Amino acid sequence: METRSNHVLVGGVVLILLAVLALFMVWISRFGAEGKREYDILFKQSVDGLAKGSAVNFSGVPIGQVKDIKLDAKSPEFVRVRVSVDDKTPILLGTTAAIQGSFTGPSTVQLDGAQAGRPLIDCSNSACPLGVPLIPAKPGGLGALLSNAPQLLERLTTLTERLTALLSDRNQASIAGILDNTNRLSKALSDRGPEIAATLAETRIAIQKAGIASQQIGELAATTNGLLANDVKPTLGNLNKAVASAQKSMDTLDAAIGDARPGLQSFSKQTIPELGQLIHDLRQMSQSLSSVADKVDRGGAGSIVGSPKLPDYKGK
């Protein structure tokens, strides 16, 4: 009995000590969590070199550490990095996060871009998909370079191949020929320098003369415009008046013809047929007078009164 009671006592003491230790650990964890704020950052790039416990810096000043790294459940192309920072750090609107890589050590999360006078980032002015505010991410210098390294290497390889093909022996010979021709052309231009200078001087003089000529043409055009305005315009005004008068005369003549049209119709329907009949009668009378004149010529005046005398008959 005495041994069993000692065992129960020892067990009870051990349980009490374990409970006290658990409470102490909880208190320690709460004490460590006091004065901290958590934020999420969604990176759309590789987070190589970043791990739990990596430092979080604000403009180069350590302010916290990385607490968790996971793929975003809704958008797997994003990596969600949760950071815990000092609550006295001014994580204001406008702050952005980037991954700062290093060849000699682990990567860190760099925060910067806070603007004075703006409020702290919280769930009232920022998205909180998992219950903590979201800090916008931007590509980091070295991190972006490392994430794009395969594409850069591929492009460098392609560029190297093309340069190799461009600088082949045949192309080098062609380039050398082009350079030789360029040298000869430069030498020829150098030898012709005085002639080119003289030609340029003559061209300058010709351009000046052309400018003077264009100015004189402008003055002539202005004079012509003045002449047209002073002399031709009055003549055109008189011509317009003459045309108006002629138009008025034509209107008067049209009215007169309209008034005379009934008389003309009557003349054409009555007088013209009577004139035709008169001409016909005059023609017949002229024929008769011609016949009488012929008779007088042949037989004298008596032939008009009596019948013509028969010739004497003589027997055989």
Residue 40: beta bridge partners? 82, 134
261 or 201, which is more confident? 201
- What percentage of the chain exceeds 90 in pLDDT? 12
226: confidence class by pLDDT, cuts 50, 70, 90: low
User: Do β-strands 55-58 and 36-43 pair in parallel, antiparallel, or remain unpaired?
Assistant: unpaired
Taking the model in full, what pTM does it have? Answer: 0.40
Residue 58: beta bridge partners? 61, 111
Residues 158 and 244: their CA atoms lie apart, in Å, by 86
128-180: per-residue pLDDT in tens? 888 899 999 987 655 555 556 667 778 888 888 888 877 777 878 888 888 88
Q: What is the pLDDT of residue 283?
A: 72
Q: What is the pLDDT of residue 286?
A: 66
| Distance set, CA 185 to CA 174, 177, 197, 200 (Å) | 16, 12, 17, 19
Q: Find the farthest-apart pair of alpha carbons in the chain and give their distance in angstroms, rounded.
A: 230
313: confidence class by pLDDT, cuts 50, 70, 90: very low
Look at residue 298 and tell me whether its pLDDT is greater than 70.
no
12-40: per-residue pLDDT in tens? 777 888 888 877 776 665 545 457 899 99
Residue 70: beta bridge partners? 80
Residue 11: both structure tokens together:
């067990």
Look at residue 64 and tell me whether its pLDDT is greater than 60.
yes
> What DSSP character marks residue 230?
I
Residues 13 and 15: their CA atoms lie apart, in Å, by 5
Mean pLDDT of 50-71: 91
Domain ranges of the chain: 33-149, 154-190, 196-265
The answer to which of 11-20, 28-37, 115-124, 278-287 has the lowest mean pLDDT is: 28-37
Mean pLDDT of 102-117: 81
Q: How far apart are the first and last CA of the chain?
A: 230
Q: What is the pLDDT of residue 211?
A: 82
Task: Using the structure block, give the residue that is written with the tokens 């030609």.
Answer: 199
| Distance set, CA 180 to CA 165, 170, 192 (Å) | 22, 15, 18
258 or 80, which is more confident? 80
Nearby residues of 92 by Cβ (< 8 Å), 6 or more positions away: 114, 115, 116, 118, 119, 120, 121
Mean pLDDT of 243-259: 65
77-96: per-residue pLDDT in tens? 899 999 999 988 888 988 99
Q: What is the pLDDT of residue 68?
A: 92
37-57: per-residue pLDDT in tens? 999 999 988 888 888 999 999
Residues 127 and 93: their CA atoms lie apart, in Å, by 12
Residue 121: beta bridge partners? none
Pick from 54, 61, 63: which is nearest to 36 by CA?
63
